[in-house]
Amino acid sequence: MNVIELTDITFRWPKQTENLLDIPSLTIKKGEKVFLKGPSGSGKSSLLSLLAGISQPTTGEISLLQQSFSQLKATRRDQFRANHIGYIFQMFNLLPYLSVIDNVLIPCRFSRQRKNRLSGTMDSEAKRLLSQLHLPQECQERPINELSIGQQQRVAAARALIGQPELLIADEPTSALDHDNREAFIQLLMAECDKADTTLLFVSHDETLESLFDRSIALNDLNQAAKGVS
């Protein structure tokens, strides 16, 4: 099954005259762990906001989980994202005023589907995920701002994974971590994705991580607009 399918996508921001993205085709299958590389300014964040349904492609079609996604109304796309996509930012993923557990549970507050997919109570499920991601028990009780960046990213990963979304998008989640932590973090992430049969799209400009993934895509090879410029 194709989790992501892009066909003849072009995209530009409303006031731009030239396309930022021009992607004839991109397919990612269920369970794949894909490394998407590209230097900054190559249109990575634009592509991610298309995939998350925040922006609409100028032309072309996006299908997610074999459903036509780009045709949906904005509120339906928001709901789809809540139900099916986990998202990890580069850093500062967490809301400082919520506890660790409450941070992990945010997606369940916006999506009944993900809440229903939990096997135990919300609390126990959050704690189980956190321990699997090697976040020590005592860290789970601490305020967010007392956690290290590495610990914060693991909480963010637990949040992205809770309720087993089909697709996990990670936008340079390791850029604030040192090298050893990076690999460990990615290994943990992948182990969790395997358990839930979650497809992983990992975006980074750090090519040393490339070897850890099933497949690597260079955005500049994919994007016809980038070729035209260079």
Partner 1 sequence: MGAIFRLAWQSLTNRKTTAFLTLLTVAISVTLLLGVERVRTQAKSSFANTISGTDLIVGSRSGQVNLLLYSVFRIGNATNNIDWKSYQEISQHRSVKWSIPISLGDSHQGYRVIGTNQSYFSHYQYGRKQTLSFAEGRQFTGLFETVLGAEVANKLNYQLNDEIIIAHGISDKSFNRHDNLPFKVVGILKPTGTPVDRSIHVSLGAIEAIHIGWESGAKLGNTPDALALVNHQFEPKQITAFMLGLNSKIQTFALQRYINTYTKEPLSAIMPGIALHELWGMMSIAEQALLIVSGFVVIAGLLGMLTSLLTSLNERRREMAILRAMGARPSHIFFLLVSEATVLTALGVALGTLLLYSLMTIAQPFIQQQFGLFIEITGPTSYELLLLGIVQLAGITVGILPALRAYQHSLADGMTIKV
Q: Is 96 in the site for partner 1 (CB under 8 A)?
A: yes
DSSP state of 136: -
Contacts 24+ apart (CB under 8 A), 144-149: 144/94, 144/95, 144/96, 144/98, 144/99, 144/100, 144/103, 145/96, 147/100, 149/91, 149/176, 149/177
Q: Is 52 in the site for partner 1 (CB under 8 A)?
A: yes
Q: Is 20 in the site for partner 1 (CB under 8 A)?
A: no
* Closest residue by Cα to residue 103 from 150, 53, 151, 156: 156
- Residue 212 CB-half CA count within 13 A: 21
Site string for partner 1, 69-88 (x = CB under 8 A): -----xx--xx-xxx---x-
Least distance CB 80 / partner 1 (angstroms): 9
Of 109 and 134, CB closest to partner 1 = 109
Q: Is 106 in the site for partner 1 (CB under 8 A)?
A: yes
Q: Is 159 in the site for partner 1 (CB under 8 A)?
A: yes
Interface with partner 1 (CB under 8 A), residue total 30
* Closest residue by Cα to residue 111 from 152, 36, 164, 69: 164
Least distance CB 180 / partner 1 (angstroms): 26
Least distance CB 48 / partner 1 (angstroms): 7
Helical (H) or strand (E) element with 155: helix 149-161
Q: Which residues bind partner 1 (CB under 8 A)?
A: 45, 48-49, 52, 54-55, 74-75, 78-79, 81-83, 87, 89-90, 92-98, 102, 106-107, 109-111, 159
